Amino acid sequence: MQDAYSHALVAAGGFSDDERAAVYRAIETRRDVRDQFLPDPVPEQVLQRLLAAAHAAPSVGFMQPWNFIIVRDDGVREAAWQAFSRANEEAAAMFPEEKQEAYRNLKLEGIRKAPVSICVTCDPDRAGPVVLGRTHNLRTDAYSTVCAIQNLWLAARAEGVGLGWVSIFREEDIRLLLGIPERVEIVAWLCLGYVEQLYREPELAVKGWRQRLPLEELVYRDRWGDR
Ligand SMILES: Cc1cc2c(cc1C)N(C[C@H](O)[C@H](O)[C@H](O)COP(=O)(O)O)c1[nH]c(=O)[nH]c(=O)c1N2
């Protein structure tokens, strides 16, 4: 291809076998970590690599709506855990009675155990009022932020750093705790730390809460419901 931008292009061939295997290995062995965190600190350079991976994510109109609030402070993490704890009681009560005990027995966060947390936010005003690609779906800013989180999660797997996503809290509690402006959406509280072992399968499956669905049931051909 020869065009005005050809100097900005690089070859787009597939990866070598080893490189490809490494990518799939990160995808397949990535786990949500709750209880396996070691207290060892995550060095700042490692954290920077993870943040760079997140920042390399696709975003609608190249909006890059994310911010990352790095939380190492014990008091702040304790307060976040309290917010989780209150919300988790409310959450348990939302399930049918026969599931509540099983729910309460699940460990659903590692906020105090993990040495560092990252609160990931989405600023809807990052690229002005009209954003390319977001014109007909305002949620695409949050979708972009989730892409950044997934990049961070996979990079963390490759670094031997475990990551757990916590979403069980009232947004207002975390907003107040971290001084996040009203217009900014809180997308995730991520717990990070080194881990020695990971579950081979999702912990929720291992503990009988819910199993992985067969992929073929989820794939339709040409029309909704057609296989
Ligand atoms: C948007 C979102 C929000 C949450 C999660 C994930 C995502 C994508 N997950 C983790 C989730 O339970 C986990 O990904 C699945 O159970 C699958 O397990 P693996 O991630 O493959 O280990 C999660 N886990 C948890 O223990 N507490 C939580 O609050 C949440 N919240």
- DSSP class of residue 3? S
* Residue 1 banded pLDDT, cuts 50, 70, 90: low
pLDDT tens readout for residues 60-110 = 999 999 999 999 999 999 999 999 999 999 999 999 999 999 999 999 999
For residue 97 the two structure tokens come to 């009675």
**β-strand partners of 69:** 119
Residue minimizing CA distance to atom 3 of ligand 1: 167
156 lines ligand 1 (CB under 6 A): no
Rounded to the nearest angstrom, the distance between the alpha carbon of 6 and the centre of ligand 1 is 42
Strands 185-194 and 161-166: antiparallel
Kindly state the average pLDDT of the residues 15-29.
Answer: 98
Asked whether the beta carbons of 77 and 71 are under 8 A apart, the reply is yes
**Which residues does 153 contact at the CB level (< 8 Å), separation at least 6?**
30, 163, 165
* Residue 3 banded pLDDT, cuts 50, 70, 90: confident
Query: Among 31, 50, 48, which residue's Cα sits nearest to residue 151?
Result: 50
Rounded to the nearest angstrom, the distance between the alpha carbon of 14 and the centre of ligand 1 is 31
- DSSP class of residue 61? G
pLDDT tens readout for residues 169-214 = 999 999 999 999 999 999 999 999 999 999 999 999 999 999 999 9
From CA 208, how far away is CA 99, in angstroms rounded? 11
* Nearest atom of ligand 1 to the alpha carbon of 167: 29
Does domain 33-199 correspond to CATH entry 3.40.109.10? yes
Percent of the chain with pLDDT over 90: 99
Whether the predicted interface score ipTM is above 0.95: yes
φ and ψ at residue 138, rounded to 5 degrees: -65, -20
34 lines ligand 1 (CB under 6 A): yes
Rounded to the nearest angstrom, the distance between the alpha carbon of 165 and the centre of ligand 1 is 6
91 lines ligand 1 (CB under 6 A): no
- DSSP class of residue 122? E
Pocket mutation for ligand 1, best pick of 149, 167, 189, 210 (most atoms within 8 Å of C-beta): 167
**CA angle at residue 57 from 55 to 62, to 5 degrees?**
90
- What is the domain partition of the chain in residue ranges? 1-30, 33-199
Query: Among 186, 188, 52, 66, which residue's Cα sits nearest to residue 126?
Result: 66
